[in-house]
Amino acid sequence: MTLELRTADDIALLSETVTIECKLAQGQNGQGELPKDFWPTYSAMANTHGGVVLLGVREKNGTFSLAGIPDAEKVRRDLFNTLSNPGKVSTNLLTDSDVVAHVIDGHTILAVHIPQATRRQRPVYLNNQPMGNTWKRLNEGDRQCDDETVRRMMVEQVEDDRDQRILVSYGLDDIDPESLRIYRQMLRDKYPEHPFLDAENVEFLRQIGAWRRDRQMDVAGLTVAGLLMFGRWASIQEGMPHYFVDYQERPEAQTERRWIDRLVPDGSWSGNVFDFYRRVYRKLVSDLKVPFELKGGQRQEDTQIHVALREALVNTLVHADYTGRVSILVVKRPDMFGFRNPGGLRLPLAQVVHGGESDCRNRLMHQMFLMIGLGERAGSGIPKIFSGWRSQHWRQPLLHEKDEPEQTLLELRMLDLLPESVINELHERFGELFDELDNTDRLILATARIESVVNHTRLAEIVGDEHPRDLSARLARLERQGTLQSSGQSRGKVYFLPGARPVSPDDVFFSALSAGYNGTSSAHNVDSSGYKTVRSVHTEASFEGNDTNAGSGTEPKTDPNRDASGCLLSHHLDAPVIDRLDLLSSELLDELQRRAATPRQKARLDTTTMEAVILSVCAGRYVRLGVLAELVQRNPDVLRRHYLDGLVKTQRIRRAFPSTPNHEMQSYRTDESNDKNSDGR
């Protein structure tokens, strides 16, 4: 990743994340010393997704400032000397170009760019002992790996094919005969003269990799691939106890667990991978609403979208780690298709999306699918999926990983990048000027219309391969043409259509005061959460209760600006705002505290649990940051940086004031239309 570090303000805007860590690194004499806690971070980033460690940056209460390293060369030497010592670090991933010195206001800091280790390099561990000395990066912290995680890394390191292992004592009795018969028929349909077709079942299984003999060990039997592809459910359970496949069709474009169709191994069918593929693919495409394609004047029912869904399903099945504790999950919703498999990517994410190289976890299973015309050759599957989705002008697929538990998620959303109604509206508004724009410029304006306000980062995600400088030039040109307006400066700058200025905190809170809102006057305005001072730019009136009144559950006073539960009302927003706990009704306060009970009782929570609590607390109403922080007993700045910003980015929660994302009065509401649960759907 690239960091622009030119001024002290760039340092102040930093926040520690899964890929960024800041360390003072000045040592006892203040001249510079590589801190001991650098090495767990090195191990953690190498074993996860890589990252940058900034040496010479001071952190206090979540705020970063420039400190500098007087003797930066000494720190650099110590770094590489230790990396060269295999007794201290198992693998050196760095070159000279990975350690970059930045001089800001006369102070030198070192940016250490740690790449993601390859599968064959992991685990990266310390002190010549992987158990107890291997780390992974979760959120902004380094987490020590348990022995099971380390062992799984070691297995991934040495096993190119996870599915070629022979299962001793497993034979033809463990094969579902109907699954094998249908597979042979599909091979005959694809290649009528294929030489394998004349073989008896055992020989046929051997030829496709489902049966293997190890001459050196003098053992023979079904391979893991053979059992998973064609096995009976009871046999699969015995041989692969964590194996589970799950298909769910959900009726609405949201995360609720209700389903109208579900397929799981329940004894009514074989439960194996091959049957799961056949049954699920039919369900995925049964009512697919995409136009037929013409080829040579003939209608082709197998469109690019069919190909993309077929590849997504095969890809999920052949790249899964069937020893993992997460199930295979396929979800169909009116607005999207979702695919989840246990196990992370074996190649860096950017390389997988770009294509051209493959490192399949279950190579034999992949070959079995290829033999009957399913799936794509090495390294072309994901690009084929992306290409199919682009053919319909749908939003770019989202491929990402989760580390706890380790899994890979692919989301294929059927949302138009350029909805016809929006295009017509923009054409009517800007006329010929809009017609003269290229597709990227139109996409920018359409996004601003759909999402009300956008920034450079959001547009970079949507546009895709546009260079950041080129995108900045586009935005500046559109602004000069009068098709966009902006507010804010530098990284806080946002863009919107003319006359569509986004609502600000002053529009909601100050207008409420002007209309007679009965705030409590205070010269200090201490947030009831006890974390920081909050003031409006227009008034000294407090928007908080004090420590003695906050959360008292008093009944709300009669106020035309509040609803019966004590929430602030504003015609600028589509839902009420919980801006003060002391004005809420007892019923609502008790309910919010019940939803926030887990973080109130536990100082440490995993990310998934905390996100679920936040989404529950913010359901149906906007909740001001300070109030949310008090409810979950967390620092507001930490809450925003570590949880809320990520939830906004994945569209599970939305800001009341998107043009000022870091404003002290920012409020959040769960986006019911896009909310995702812990399964990533």
Question: Is 2 contained in some domain?
Answer: no
Question: Is 3 contained in some domain?
Answer: no
The confidence score (pLDDT) of residue 520 equals 37
The confidence score (pLDDT) of residue 551 equals 42
Residue 197, Cβ neighbours under 10 Å: how many? 13
**Mean predicted confidence (pLDDT) in 122-150:** 90
Please name the residue that has the structure tokens 């077929």.
310
- Would you place residue 513 in the very low, low, confident or very high pLDDT band (cuts 50, 70, 90)? low
Average per-residue pLDDT in the chain?
A: 84
- Would you place residue 507 in the very low, low, confident or very high pLDDT band (cuts 50, 70, 90)? confident
Q: Are residues 246 and 395 in the same domain?
A: yes
d(CA 122, CA 47) in angstroms, rounded, equals 6
Torsion angles phi and psi, residue 2, rounded to 5: -110, 130
Beta bridge partners of 108: 103
Name, of 166-180, 287-301, 354-368, 462-476, the range with top average pLDDT: 166-180
d(CA 78, CA 73) in angstroms, rounded, equals 9
- Is the pLDDT at 214 greater than 60? The verdict is yes
The confidence score (pLDDT) of residue 558 equals 65
Tens digits of per-residue pLDDT, 45-98? 999 889 999 999 998 777 788 999 999 999 999 999 999 999 999 999 999 999
Q: Are residues 154 and 176 in the same domain?
A: no
The residue segments making up the domain with residue 242 are 159-290+300-410
d(CA 495, CA 501) in angstroms, rounded, equals 9
Percentage of the chain modeled with pLDDT above 70? 85
Q: Are residues 277 and 336 in the same domain?
A: yes
Q: Are residues 346 and 332 in the same domain?
A: yes
d(CA 253, CA 270) in angstroms, rounded, equals 31
**Mean predicted confidence (pLDDT) in 619-627:** 95
Asked which of 496, 526, 549 is the last residue of a domain, the reply is 496
Helix (H) or strand (E) holding 615: helix 607-617
CATH, residue 209: 3.30.565.60
Claim: this prediction has a pTM higher than 0.85: no
* Residues 404 and 606: beta-carbon distance below 8 Å: yes
Q: How far apart are the first and last CA of the chain?
A: 27
Question: Is 677 contained in some domain?
Answer: no
d(CA 300, CA 417) in angstroms, rounded, equals 25
The confidence score (pLDDT) of residue 556 equals 43
Question: Is 681 contained in some domain?
Answer: no
Sequence-ordered alpha helix ranges (H) in 404-451: 420-430, 432-435, 439-451
- Is the pLDDT at 463 greater than 90? The verdict is no
Q: How many domains does the chain have?
A: 4
Beta bridge partners of 247: 263, 330
Q: Which whole-number Å values give the CA distances from 444 to 412, 417, 458, 488, in the listed order?
A: 21, 10, 10, 18
- Is the pLDDT at 555 greater than 70? The verdict is no
Asked which of 142, 158, 174 is the last residue of a domain, the reply is 158
- Is the pLDDT at 159 greater than 80? The verdict is no
The confidence score (pLDDT) of residue 669 equals 96
Tens digits of per-residue pLDDT, 115-125? 999 888 999 99
Tens digits of per-residue pLDDT, 220-237? 899 999 999 999 999 999
Q: Are residues 635 and 573 in the same domain?
A: yes
Q: Are residues 488 and 347 in the same domain?
A: no
**Mean predicted confidence (pLDDT) in 473-490:** 87
d(CA 371, CA 196) in angstroms, rounded, equals 11
Q: Are residues 624 and 490 in the same domain?
A: no
615 or 413: which leads in pLDDT: 615
d(CA 36, CA 259) in angstroms, rounded, equals 51
Please name the residue that has the structure tokens 């760039």.
10
Q: Are residues 174 and 267 in the same domain?
A: yes
- Would you place residue 371 in the very low, low, confident or very high pLDDT band (cuts 50, 70, 90)? very high
Lowest mean pLDDT among 267-276, 516-525, 639-648: 516-525
Q: Are residues 571 and 659 in the same domain?
A: yes
- Would you place residue 359 in the very low, low, confident or very high pLDDT band (cuts 50, 70, 90)? confident
Question: Is 295 contained in some domain?
Answer: no
**Mean predicted confidence (pLDDT) in 456-483:** 81
The confidence score (pLDDT) of residue 524 equals 32
- Is the pLDDT at 442 greater than 90? The verdict is no
- Would you place residue 144 in the very low, low, confident or very high pLDDT band (cuts 50, 70, 90)? very high
Tens digits of per-residue pLDDT, 178-207? 999 999 999 999 999 999 999 999 999 999
Asked which of 457, 475, 496 is the last residue of a domain, the reply is 496
Question: Is 680 contained in some domain?
Answer: no
Listed in sequence order, the residues at least 6 apart from 346 whose beta carbon sits closer than 8 Å to its beta carbon are 119, 156, 319, 359, 360, 361
d(CA 197, CA 205) in angstroms, rounded, equals 11
The confidence score (pLDDT) of residue 61 equals 72
510 or 511: which leads in pLDDT: 510
Question: Is 676 contained in some domain?
Answer: no
Q: Are residues 151 and 165 in the same domain?
A: no
Q: Are residues 91 and 176 in the same domain?
A: no
The confidence score (pLDDT) of residue 301 equals 63
3-state secondary structure 569-588: CCCCCCCCEECCCCCCCHHH
Tens digits of per-residue pLDDT, 381-440? 888 898 888 777 787 888 988 877 889 999 998 876 667 788 889 989 999 898 888 878
Q: Are residues 172 and 118 in the same domain?
A: no
Assigned token pair, 98 = 């990975």
CATH, residue 55: 3.30.950.30
Question: Is 415 contained in some domain?
Answer: no
- Would you place residue 300 in the very low, low, confident or very high pLDDT band (cuts 50, 70, 90)? low
The confidence score (pLDDT) of residue 38 equals 96
